[in-house]
Amino acid sequence: MNLAEIIDVLKLTVLTEKKDFSAIQPSGGYAADLLSCVMTGAPHNGIWLTLQAHGNIVAVAALLELSAVIITENAMPDQATINKANMEDVTLLSTAETTFTMAGKLWELGLRAV
């Protein structure tokens, strides 16, 4: 399951610049809103589900070279955060769904915790 298929099937909105998402293979999934936990818990190259839209999510995603961050419940990062994500080559995705629903759907698609 590559990131392009995930974006398509889960109807995610891409907030950052488009790229060849079909070339990105997420290693696994992780869900938390405490960034200190994410820094130590999320898998390298994984997909991270969170309600947090603060600019610090970009640094955490870049640190772990995450495949993407899915921001749930329509929480919206500001433009400065989106710009920073583009600079750091971090993919930010958005959905109106809850983190629970997103995690369930990703699991159904075959994504697992690492």
Partner 1 sequence: MLTLRAEFHVHTVLSPCAELEMLPPLIVMEALERGIHLIAITDHNATGNIRAVQKAAAGTGLTVLPGMELQTREEVHVLCLFDQPEQAEKWQEVVSSCLPKMENRPGFFGDQLLVDEIGEFVARESRLLLTSTSLSIDEVCQQVEGLGGMVIPAHVNRPANGLISMLGFVPPEIPFSALEISRHLKPSAAVALHPQLAGYPLIQGGDAHRLEDLRGVNQLLVEAPTLAEIKLAFKKSGGRSARILSTSTL
In the shown chain, the binding pattern of residues 66 to 105 toward partner 1, with x for contact by CB under 8 A and - for none, equals ------------x-x-------------------------
For residue 15, which amino acid is it?
A: L
Nearest to 74 by CA among 53, 59, 55: 53
From 11-19, 23-31, 52-60, 92-100, give the range in contact with partner 1 by CB under 8 A: 52-60
* Residue 74: CB minimum distance to partner 1, A: 12
Assess 59 for contact with partner 1 (CB under 8 A). yes
Partners of residue 41 on adjacent β-strands = none
* Residue 9: CB minimum distance to partner 1, A: 29
Q: Could you give the CA distance from residue 108 to residue 7 in angstroms, rounded to a whole number?
A: 14
The CA radius of gyration of the chain, in Å to the nearest whole number, is 12
Q: Which is nearer to partner 1, 2 or 86 (CB)?
A: 86
Q: Which is nearer to partner 1, 47 or 60 (CB)?
A: 60
Angle between helices 79-87 and 56-63 (to 10 degrees): 20
